[in-house]
């Protein structure tokens, strides 16, 4: 569903097509001498595309409810310091969509800003990698950061970037 949401956002917000196309063209034509492919290294040189993907996923997270791996394993259950008791085999879940709309983290919560993370990179260059698509932040997707990091940094993230780059370039 991620690619579907990203393509919907690209169509819903066509004002992003021109800046994305310009960024892609600059890397594609300059770095590869007009060869008809982008490399893995080239994908790291597309911070606006990176930002667009991350913002799209922020407002349309793949699973809106994320189950934490496994259930309570202890046969006596788990009792927290405040007295809350979870019986044996209780499953836990986290609301990823709710985290994406946390006022403590984001300004203008429901507005789509495809360059939100690009602007944050420019404002805080010492933390630029924190705002990359492949990066995770403890303030977002708190439960599934490992899964997201592996997916975004791996083949899945590169395929998404390539697909959106080709679509934005061709539109």
Mean residue pLDDT of the chain comes to 79
Decide if pLDDT at 143 tops 50: no
Number of domains composing the chain: 1
pTM higher than 0.85 for the full model? no
DSSP secondary structure, 2-64, as one string: HHHHHHHHHHH-GGGHHHHHHHHHHHHHHHSTT-S---HHHHTT-HHHHHHHHHHHHHS-S-S
Range of the domain at 38: 2-170
> What pLDDT, on a 0 to 100 scale, did the predictor assign at position 35?
53
Please indicate whether residue 75 or residue 46 has the higher confidence score (pLDDT): 46
First-to-last CA distance in the chain?
A: 21
**Is-contact 27 38, C-beta < 8 A?**
yes
Pull the structure tokens for residue 113.
């800003």
> What pLDDT, on a 0 to 100 scale, did the predictor assign at position 49?
94
Mean pLDDT along residues 114-142: 80
Decide if pLDDT at 145 tops 70: no
> What pLDDT, on a 0 to 100 scale, did the predictor assign at position 144?
45
CATH number, position 46: 1.10.630.10
């Amino acid at each position: 569903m991620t690619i579907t949401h990203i393509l919907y956002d690209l169509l819903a917000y066509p004002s992003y097509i021109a800046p994305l196309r310009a960024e892609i063209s600059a890397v594609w034509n300059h770095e590869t001498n007009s060869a008809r492919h982008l490399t893995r290294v080239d994908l790291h040189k597309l911070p606006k595309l990176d930002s667009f993907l991350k913002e799209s996923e922020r407002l349309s997270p793949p699973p809106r409810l994320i189950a934490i791996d496994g259930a309570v394993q202890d046969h006596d259950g788990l009792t927290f310091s405040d007295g809350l008791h979870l019986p044996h085999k209780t499953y836990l879940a986290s609301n990823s969509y709710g985290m994406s709309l946390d006022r403590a983290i984001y300004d203008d919560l429901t507005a789509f800003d495809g360059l939100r993370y690009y602007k944050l990179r420019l404002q805080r260059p010492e933390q630029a990698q924190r705002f990359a698509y492949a990066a995770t932040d403890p303030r977002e997707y708190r439960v599934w950061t490992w899964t997201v990091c592996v997916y975004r940094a791996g083949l899945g993230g590169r395929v998404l970037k390539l697909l959106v780059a080709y679509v934005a370039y061709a539109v």
